[in-house]
């Protein structure tokens, strides 16, 4: 579960060191409170809820957090050309940047549902919010993400001009 917790923490905070700290803290809390887990089938959601509490605690301690640049992720493909690697990296960066610009609540719901493939009910439990709130935040997050990506794509289009001879 550590890689999944880290990936989720990183999606929320965009800082590798902080994500590692949050993951470690969540795992330590889970070990300390292992006796509180009643249903082993809910283990994954329980861990995600602990991670969410660690994230909230961090936000309370540090209200003026600033997102840092994303770490460079290597794209592993045996037939990838430098152009494809660059395009893939640019697309990934644009998506991560757009997700980072979403409000925290929308970012959390989006990453839990779309990246971690949690059900709405699981997300509601993890974040301690009603299922209807999960659904509305997810709809707003997806719409905002689409709009942000479309805006950055259209801003990147450079009109071609002909040279006159």
Tell me the per-residue pLDDT of 24-58, one tens digit each, with 9 for 90 and over. 999 999 889 888 878 778 788 888 889 999 988 88
* Residue 94, number of CB atoms within 10 A of its CB: 15
The domains located in the chain, with CATH, are 1-68+88-155 (1.10.10.10)
* Structure confidence at residue 140 (pLDDT): 95
* Structure confidence at residue 69 (pLDDT): 43
* Structure confidence at residue 160 (pLDDT): 53
Enter the pTM of the model. 0.55
Token pair belonging to 145: 């993400």
On average, the pLDDT of the chain sits at 81
pLDDT tens across the length of the chain (165 residues): 889 999 888 988 888 999 999 999 999 998 898 888 787 787 888 888 899 999 888 888 876 544 444 434 443 445 567 777 777 788 778 888 888 899 989 999 998 998 888 899 999 998 999 999 999 999 999 999 999 888 877 766 555 555 544
* Structure confidence at residue 61 (pLDDT): 83
Q: DSSP string covering 15-44, please? A: -HHHHHHHHHHHHHHHHHTGGG---GGGHH
């Amino acid at each position: 579960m550590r890689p999944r917790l880290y990936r989720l923490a990183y999606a929320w905070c965009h800082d590798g060191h902080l994500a590692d700290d949050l993951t470690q803290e969540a795992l330590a809390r889970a070990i300390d409170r292992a006796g509180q887990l009643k249903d082993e089938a809910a283990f994954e959601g329980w861990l995600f809820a602990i991670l969410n509490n660690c994230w909230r605690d961090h936000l309370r301690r540090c209200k003026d957090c600033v997102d840092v640049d994303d770490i460079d992720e290597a794209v592993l493909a045996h037939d990838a050309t430098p152009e494809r690697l660059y395009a893939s990296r640019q697309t990934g960066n644009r998506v991560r940047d757009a997700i980072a610009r979403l409000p925290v609540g929308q970012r959390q719901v989006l990453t839990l549902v779309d990246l971690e493939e949690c059900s709405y009910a699981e997300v509601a439990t993890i974040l301690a919010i009603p299922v209807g709130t999960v659904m509305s935040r997810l709809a707003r997050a997806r719409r905002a993400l689409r709009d942000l990506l479309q805006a950055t794509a259209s801003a990147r289009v450079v009109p071609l001009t002909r040279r006159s001879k």
